[in-house]
Amino acid sequence: MIIIRFIIFFFIWLSAYSMQAQETKIYGQILHNNHPLAYANVSIAQTTIGNYTDSLGRYSIDGLSAGPHRVVVSLLGFKTIEKLVTIDGPKSSFELVLEMEELATTLGEVVVSANLKEVNKLDSPVPVEVYSTKFFRTNPTPSMFEAMQSVNGVRPQINCNVCNTGDIHINGLEGPYTMVLIDGMPIVSGLSTVYGLTGIPHSLIERIEIVKGPASTLYGSEAVGGLVNIITKKPGTAPTLALDAFTTSWLENNVDLGLKFKGPSKSDALLGANYFSYQNPFDKNSDGFTDVTLQSRLSLFNKWSFHRPSGRLFTWAARYIYEDRWGGDMRWTPEYRGGSEIYGESIYTNRWETFGTYQLPTSEDIKIQISANGHRQNSVYGNTIYHADQYIGFGQLTWQKTINKKHQLLAGAAYRYTYYDDNTSATDDLASQAGQTHLPGLFIQDDIVITDQHRLLVGVRYDHNSLHGSIFTPRLNFKWNSPNKRNILRASIGNGYRVANIFTEDHAALTGARTLEFDGELQPERSWNANLNFVKKLFVKQTAINLDASVFYTHFDNRIIPDYETDPNKIIYSNLDGSAVSKGLSLNLDVITSTRWKFLAGATLLDVTVTDAGVKERQLLTERFSGVWNISYRFTRSKLTLDYTGNVYSPMRLPLLGPLDQRPDMSSWWSIQNIQITKGLLNGFEVYGGVKNLLNFTPPANSIARAFDPFDNLVSFDQEGQVIPTTNNPQALTFDPTYVFAPNQGIRLFLGFRYAIP
């Protein structure tokens, strides 16, 4: 009996204790989109009391005293929640169920490049990569053109060892296939990519959006390989003052200045200025030529935003760039410009751009977008003089309509006018390539929300080129996501085109040592692209992992191919008698931990081939593998941040000057690595410094063929213009600077500061 009484007493006591314990706690569940969140940290503010949620998102905090308690819920990748809870007494309990909101990360931001309207990146049927200016600050550069070296699958290609002009390669496709936009407005392509990504102060850039693959259905010609869209800040969200300046041990000086101010008639404005100067020639490879082009560049940027009834949009912006760059013989001075005594390549560029968007005062969402730009280039390449004028006007009317919450229609009409002329034989011999080109177009697309997990985008565009007639470009995109949007699969197929409008500014700037030749009448290029993209988001305790993988395939018809090898004195352009294929896969990895580490890495495998007249070969200046990385660690107490960035490229095929050219036909593996330390100080002030090109990599010293004879005075030619091997020229070479695959600038220190007033 005593034992039975003891057991009964024990169970009564245990039950009472359990009831008391249940009544003195806060318990509940943490959710995201009505799905449980595991490993969320639930704690009581200003105490060490807390717990983690289990696999079902449940938690319990016991043994709390009576009174108010501030519950704090945190999880990497989500906005922290604070909730005030009051426990009435020792036998009270409180159930608290909270919904967390995900932070905008590189895989969850708002994008506009996919379909000309703002949409969450996770909801976009088109894969779009988003990079903030904070990302590019880990390796400061004087222009966004150079900053692209940090983006997976995107490579700034230097096309000339002397003048250092270049273009942007996306997934192995060359510069003419990349379109550059500012705030969604087409600005430049080809050689002008350098200027489109130059001169906008980084402090005024909100983000960079990159679409890999054809986007001609929305943006028309040139958007074949992809596009780079620079989104500038809205005047209302930009800092009042932003200043960023740095210098290097090579005496490169760069200053960015951004200002925000109130304008008349309820308007806000941004004013930005960028100045870059490099006037300290180096010849570390001892070939007698400058290793890096000397430059003096000034850019001004101004953007206005006008307040209108019902929040309707009205923005206008303008930009002006002036640049004076030269490279060549170390003895060159401006008095030798255009002469045959001392070789130099000198380029004076004047460029202006203006663009704006106006939303009509109607009940429908109708916008008018207008842009215009002028590009005047005054260049000499040795004794070859190149003067060119280009003017482009663009107008677009778009109408967006949501129907039954299932269909989001976008329709529009666009018109582009192009004028181009230069002093070369290209525009004399092919009059159709100069003068005026008209390109009107119509497009329509339907963004169909099938279910919460399935989405379809269908679009088609019709353009009529005044030289080449009608062109159709359709596209189809499908997206599936898991209920919690942790898994996303996108499949797309689309068509791209580029009209045969070969501006000699794309080629004459490569080198003054070659002449340009067209083989027949060039026809528009066409391409078909298929892309499969998968995104996986993981949260493991206090670590967020984002995976973004893509498989892509692009097939070209009528591709315009430059032939450097038939004649070393010419660049011969013709439509491909066959096909060209670009295929590969890429992977981006983004890891953020609560231990102050941040790791980003990407890798791309490429196979780009050209089949012409039955002969298949690998495309020139295209790597098979590339990788990028960005590793950051923040020391919280000292406010120090350490950034280690870099890239690596596999060998690529290089243009030789003939069968006797003994230089390697393949480049070596190469890598550019950088390290930076940033110190945060008071009142928005920070200083930074580090080392660029830690490995001191530079391409071979013989990258410029016959640098000692730039005017080919000692070269012998036969009656057909072919080089004859001689005793002093046994390899039958001519002066040529196109054997280039990497920047020619070695290791250097840099030091700078930033200051911002909110």
Summarize pLDDT for 568-588 with one digit per residue, the tens.
Answer: 667 677 777 888 899 999 999
Query: d(Cα 142, Cα 7) in Å, to the nearest integer?
Result: 80
More confident residue, 523 or 645: 645
Q: What is the pLDDT of residue 514?
A: 61
Q: What is the pLDDT of residue 10?
A: 46
Residue 21, pLDDT above cutoff 70: no
pLDDT over 90 for what percent of the chain? 47
Confidence of residue 18 (pLDDT cuts 50, 70, 90): very low
Checking DSSP bridges between strand 58-62 and strand 185-189, what pairing results, if any?
unpaired
CB 193 within 8 A of CB 180: yes
Is the sign of the CA dihedral 78, 82, 83, 87 positive or negative? positive
Residue 302, pLDDT above cutoff 60: yes
CB 217 within 8 A of CB 412: no
Summarize pLDDT for 98-117 with one digit per residue, the tens.
Answer: 988 776 544 446 677 767 77
Checking DSSP bridges between strand 294-306 and strand 314-328, what pairing results, if any?
antiparallel
Summarize pLDDT for 440-473 with one digit per residue, the tens.
Answer: 999 999 999 999 999 999 999 999 988 778 888 8
CB 335 within 8 A of CB 364: no
Q: Where in the chain is the domain with CATH 2.60.40.10?
A: 2-99
DSSP 64: P
Q: What is the pLDDT of residue 175?
A: 77
Summarize pLDDT for 277-296 with one digit per residue, the tens.
Answer: 999 999 999 999 999 999 99
Query: d(Cα 38, Cα 169) in Å, to the nearest integer?
Result: 41
Query: d(Cα 121, Cα 479) in Å, to the nearest integer?
Result: 12
More confident residue, 507 or 216: 216
Q: What is the pLDDT of residue 504?
A: 42
Q: What is the pLDDT of residue 659?
A: 92
Query: d(Cα 54, Cα 226) in Å, to the nearest integer?
Result: 43
CB 422 within 8 A of CB 504: yes
Confidence of residue 539 (pLDDT cuts 50, 70, 90): confident
DSSP string, 17-48: HHHHHHTSEEEEEEEETTEE-TT-EEEETTSS
CB 448 within 8 A of CB 458: yes
In this structure, how many other beta carbons lie within 10 angstroms of the beta carbon of residue 556?
A: 25
Query: d(Cα 126, Cα 119) in Å, to the nearest integer?
Result: 11
Query: d(Cα 699, Cα 705) in Å, to the nearest integer?
Result: 13
Q: How far is CA 511 from CA 186, 327, 386, 388, 404, in A?
A: 27, 11, 11, 16, 57
State both tokens at 77.
């990748």
Between the two ends of the chain, the Cα-to-Cα distance in Å is 79
Q: What is the pLDDT of residue 459?
A: 93
Query: d(Cα 567, Cα 576) in Å, to the nearest integer?
Result: 18
CB 305 within 8 A of CB 314: yes
Query: d(Cα 610, Cα 607) in Å, to the nearest integer?
Result: 10
State both tokens at 688.
């930074």
Q: What are the residues facing 61 on neighbouring strands?
A: 26
Beta strand ranges found along 404-434 (DSSP E): 407-422
Q: Which of 305, 271, 295, 111 is nearest to 200 (CA)?
A: 271
CB 669 within 8 A of CB 651: yes
Query: What is the topology classification, in CATH, of domain 2-99?
Result: Immunoglobulin-like (2.60.40)
Q: What is the pLDDT of residue 455?
A: 95
CA atoms within 13 A on the CB side of 82: 5
- Burial class of residue 758 (count of CB atoms within 10 Å of its CB; 0-12, 13-18, 19+): exposed
Residue 188, pLDDT above cutoff 80: no
Query: d(Cα 524, Cα 471) in Å, to the nearest integer?
Result: 9
pLDDT-wise least confident of 98-112, 545-559, 744-758: 98-112
State both tokens at 177.
């296939």
Residue 635, pLDDT above cutoff 70: yes
**Most distant CA pair in the chain: distance in Å?**
125
Q: What is the pLDDT of residue 423?
A: 77
Average pLDDT of the chain to the nearest whole number: 85
Query: What is the topology classification, in CATH, of domain 250-757?
Result: Maltoporin; Chain A (2.40.170)
DSSP 335: G
State both tokens at 230.
């620079």
Mean local confidence (pLDDT), 713-739: 92
CB 199 within 8 A of CB 180: no
Confidence of residue 194 (pLDDT cuts 50, 70, 90): low
Q: What is the pLDDT of residue 5?
A: 56
More confident residue, 443 or 186: 443
Q: What is the pLDDT of residue 77?
A: 66
Q: What are the residues facing 574 on neighbouring strands?
A: 561
Mean local confidence (pLDDT), 688-717: 95
More confident residue, 28 or 437: 28
Q: How far is CA 519 from CA 500, 558, 650, in A?
A: 13, 13, 33
Place of tokens 């005594």: 341
- Burial class of residue 89 (count of CB atoms within 10 Å of its CB; 0-12, 13-18, 19+): exposed
CB 39 within 8 A of CB 49: no
Q: What is the pLDDT of residue 509?
A: 41
Summarize pLDDT for 160-182 with one digit per residue, the tens.
Answer: 889 888 788 898 888 778 888 88
Confidence of residue 513 (pLDDT cuts 50, 70, 90): low
Is the sign of the CA dihedral 168, 171, 177, 183 positive or negative? negative
pLDDT over 70 for what percent of the chain? 88
pLDDT-wise least confident of 17-21, 237-241, 298-302: 17-21
Q: What is the pLDDT of residue 357?
A: 95
Q: Which of 568, 571, 518 is nearest to 722 (CA)?
A: 568
Query: Which residues lie closer than 8 Å to 152 by C-beta, 6 or more apart?
Result: 586, 588, 602, 603, 604, 626, 627, 628
DSSP string, 458-518: EEEEEEEETTTEEEEEEEEEEEEE-TTSSEEEEEEEEEEEE-S---GGGTTTT-TTSEEEE
Query: What is the topology classification, in CATH, of domain 110-231?
Result: Ferric Hydroxamate Uptake Protein; Chain A, domain 1 (2.170.130)
Place of tokens 């967390």: 100
State both tokens at 25.
């706690």
Confidence of residue 76 (pLDDT cuts 50, 70, 90): low
Rounding to the nearest 10 degrees, give the CA dihedral for residues 722, 727, 729, 731. 80
Query: d(Cα 482, Cα 535) in Å, to the nearest integer?
Result: 11
Q: Where in the chain is the domain with CATH 2.170.130.10?
A: 110-231
State both tokens at 179.
């379109």
Instruction: Please work out, in degrees rounded to the nearest 5, the angle formed at the alpha carbon of residue 434 by the alpha carbons of 472 and 580.
Output: 45
Q: Where in the chain is the domain with CATH 2.40.170.20?
A: 250-757
Summarize pLDDT for 370-413 with one digit per residue, the tens.
Answer: 999 888 889 898 998 888 888 889 999 999 999 888 999 999 99
Q: What is the pLDDT of residue 532?
A: 95
Residue 747, pLDDT above cutoff 90: yes
Place of tokens 């500014």: 505
Mean local confidence (pLDDT), 126-141: 90
CB 583 within 8 A of CB 553: yes
Q: What are the residues facing 112 on neighbouring strands?
A: none
Q: What is the pLDDT of residue 420?
A: 80
Confidence of residue 624 (pLDDT cuts 50, 70, 90): very high
- SS3 string, 342-400, reads CCEEEEEEEEEEEEEEEECCCCCEEEEEEEEEEEEEEEEECCEEEEEEEEEEEEEEEEE
Confidence of residue 715 (pLDDT cuts 50, 70, 90): very high
DSSP string, 258-285: EEEEEETTTEEEEEEEEEEEE-----TT
In this structure, how many other beta carbons lie within 10 angstroms of the beta carbon of residue 470?
A: 8
CB 583 within 8 A of CB 554: yes
pLDDT-wise least confident of 17-21, 143-147, 187-191, 559-563: 17-21
DSSP 112: -
More confident residue, 325 or 577: 325
